[in-house]
Amino acid sequence: MSRVTFNDTLTLSQSSAVLEAPESLPAAVFWDMDGTLIDSEIYWAAAEQHVIELHGGTFSEEVPLRARGQSTPRLLQIVQEYIPSPVDTELLRSEIVNYVIEREREKPCWATGAVELLDLLSHAGIPNVIVSASPRAMVDNMARQAPEGAFVGYVCGEDGLAAKPDPAPYLRAAEIVGADPSDCLVFEDSPVGLQSGGASGATVVAITGFTPEGVVFDGPQVTNIKDYAGLGLDDLANFMELGSLEK
């Protein structure tokens, strides 16, 4: 499958590849990024701690739990609560984002089996899109570190869409590939993300491998899986069949 510019629509040949896929397979697969596609939550937590302490605050383990899956503006609000004096929002944002990007450039942290599944989907003609609340620079960085042609586009937190749990990000992803959301598969790891994917009409699978112990996955997902190790097209077809039973 030929590669397209991020956030462009699919070419005619790519659209045909989607249409020719067996009905039981998803027309496209949408991946949340942090905690789903990549194990970056440890980088985010480290960035939050670094910035809070840099500005004279006291870090708490509840910060990453509260910030998980949230939009960047909401994350900054949470971080600011732990800093004694107000800090310029743009400064806070750049400090956190740059910290995480540098760590991801030093050591990409793909979820187990993710790269292999992306390669399998690409060869099967099934397009992949990243759907993340993270800033464009972060999403673009990871999209470009992925195997050549793995992603046909992405949706990020700077696209001017309503944030998860609103379905808007996943509806936009469906527009990018020219597919009906109900024919698509979503991988997510956070409550707001699961709600967003489910509200779009897509079939949702929860990724639990990077979630803190004790967190309960209560959402619209058809199943929970730890990671992508060993997943094949038959497994994705089974997910879609489970989703069709609940629609």
Based on its alpha-carbon atoms, the radius of gyration of the chain, rounded to whole angstroms, reads 18
At residue 14, φ and ψ (nearest 5 deg) are -70, -40
Asked if 193 and 218 sit in the same domain, the reply is yes
Let me know if residue 230 belongs to a domain. Answer: yes
245/117 Cα distance (integer angstroms)? 24
Q: 100 and 119: one domain? A: no
- On whether both 120 and 185 belong to a single domain, the answer is yes
pTM: 0.78
Please report whether residue 3 resides in a domain. Answer: no
At residue 29, the 3 state secondary structure works out as strand
CA 121, CA 191: separation in Å to the nearest integer?
Answer: 26
Which of 83, 106, 129 is the endpoint of a domain? 106
Stretch 151-175: mean pLDDT: 97
Q: Is residue 6 part of a domain?
A: no
Residue 139 and residue 156 in one domain = yes
Quick one: 77 and 192 in the same domain? no
223: its two tokens? 């199943």
Q: Give the domain extent around 166.
A: 12-38+110-245
Q: Is 1 within a domain?
A: no
Residue 68: inside a domain: yes
Are 191 and 162 in the same domain?
A: yes
Largest CA distance in the chain: 58
Does 118 map to a domain?
yes
CATH code: domain of residue 95: 1.10.150
| Contact by Cβ (8 Å): 28, 173 | yes
Cβ neighbourhood burial of 52 (10 Å; 0-12, 13-18, 19+): buried
Residue range 182-230, pLDDT digits in tens? 999 999 998 999 999 999 999 999 999 987 766 667 789 999 999 999 9
Whether 58 and 171 map to the same domain: the answer is: no
Residue 239 domain flag: yes
Tell me whether residue 2 is in a domain: no
pLDDT digits (tens, 9 = 90+) for 41-97: 889 999 999 999 999 999 999 999 899 878 889 999 999 999 999 999 999 999 999
3-state secondary structure of 244: helix
C-alpha dist (Å) from residue 120 to 3, 26, 207, 222: 15, 13, 19, 22
Number of domains into which the chain is organized: 2
178 vs 18: CA distance, rounded Å: 9
